[in-house]
Structure 1
Amino acid sequence: MIIPLDLEDSNTAQCILDLQRTAYRIEADMMDTDDIPPMRDNESALRTCGESFYGYERDGTVIGLVSYQLKDGMLELCRLVVSPSYFRRGIGRQLVDFVLCQPSWDLATVCTGSVNEPALSLYKSVGFQEAEELEVSPGIILTRLEQVKERSDRIEKTS
């Protein structure tokens, strides 16, 4: 079940931090780096990031989460993490689908490590297309993907 996450609750914030550190460790290893910004987050950074957080809960435990920002028709998927114990079970896709169902966006964007084939495959499977590669630090390459909402979707949402 997908639930909103309350960043003001210290236990919830710590759960987010623990989960994202564990999941991003896998991506960091793929990229041969320790320098993935979410791995350095703390509770204060989470509370002030301006993102909306939702978790995938199973048996009272959050095993995946997604965060996004929506501003002026632009939907930015900021974080998508799943506990490694639950990789390849469709949880990431459900979280992405949940975010893409949010109203009032025309363009959605997301970035991931260019070597993170599972993430790239997931985003492409839900309609994202590669837009550009960005070298954020020496040897650290991210792929930015975009999805333009289909016109019929925009009309249906506003009707």
Structure 2
Amino acid sequence: MIKLIDISNKDNAKDVLSIQIPSYEVEAKIIDYYELPPLKDTIDKLQKCEEIFFGFYENTELCGAISLKADENVADIHRLIVHPNHFRKGIAQLLLNFVISKFNVKKVKVATGSKNTPAVNFYIKNGFNKIKGFKVNERLSLIFFEKEL
């Protein structure tokens, strides 16, 4: 089941962080870059990020989450995370589909590490177009995607 997460609730923020860290640790290993900002997030940072969070729950366990900022035209996805124990169950797809169907926007935007092949392939498979690349530093580059709806 997918439901809104009240990130202002400390326990909810703690739950999100408990899946975010292991999820981004997998990405860090894939791209061989361990200084990803989401790995340094805290409960306080999550509560102040001004993103809307939705979670996928299996019974009462939070297995995955998506966060975004949206206006009347664009949904900008900031996180799409799944705990590694729940990889390959279609949770990321369910969360992405949920956001696309829930928000009446014209465009969805997202960015990921350019070396994160599973994420890059996921967005391409879902009809996102590569818009641009951005070199953060010598070891990290990002790809920005958009999907017109």
Q: TM-score, normalised on structure 2?
A: 0.94
Aligned counterpart, 1:78: 78
Query: Which runs of structure 1 show a deviation greater than 6 angstroms over 4 or more consecutive aligned residues?
Result: none
- Cα separation, 2, equivalents of 1:54 and 1:70: 13
Aligned to 1:138: 138
Mapped partners of 2:147, 2:45: distance in 1: 28
Q: Which amino acid aligns with 2:18?
A: D
Structure 1 distance, partners of 2:72, 2:6, is: 24
Deviates more, 1:41-50 or 1:53-62: 41-50
Q: Structure 1: which 5+ residue stretches go unaligned? A: 150-159
Which residue identity does 1:6 align to in structure 2?
D
**Hey, what does 1:105 align to over in structure 2?**
105
Q: Which residue of 2 aligns with 1:5?
A: 5
Q: Which amino acid aligns with 1:84?
A: P
Determine the C-alpha separation between the residues in 1 that align with 2:135 and 2:114. 10
Where in structure 2 are there 5+ consecutive unaligned residues? none
1:107-136 deviation digits (Å, cap 9, x = unpaired): 211001111111112112221111111111
| Aligned match of 1:28 | 28
Does residue 117 of structure 1 match 2:78? no
Taking the aligned partners of 1:103 and 1:111, their CA distance within structure 2 comes to 19
**Which residue identity lines up with residue 105 of structure 1 in the other structure?**
V
Identity level (%) = 30
- Assess if the C-alpha contact under 8 Å between 2:57 and 2:63 holds in 1: yes
Map of 1:68 onto structure 2: 68
Larger gyration radius, structure 1 or structure 2: 1
C-alpha contact (below 8 Å) 2:7/2:47 kept by paired residues? yes
The 3-state SS of whatever aligns with 1:29 is helix
CA shift for structure 1 position 102:
2.7
RMSD: 1.2
CA contact (8 A) 2:75 2:103 kept: no
Q: CA deviation at 1:72?
A: 4.4
- Structure 1: distance between partners of 2:71 and 2:101: 15
Normalising by structure 1, we get a TM-score of 0.89
The Cα of 1:54 is off from its aligned counterpart by: 0.5
- Displacement after TM superposition at 1:146 (Å): 0.6
1:33-48 to 2 correspondences below 5 Å: 33-48=33-48
| Letter in structure 2 aligned against 1:42 | T
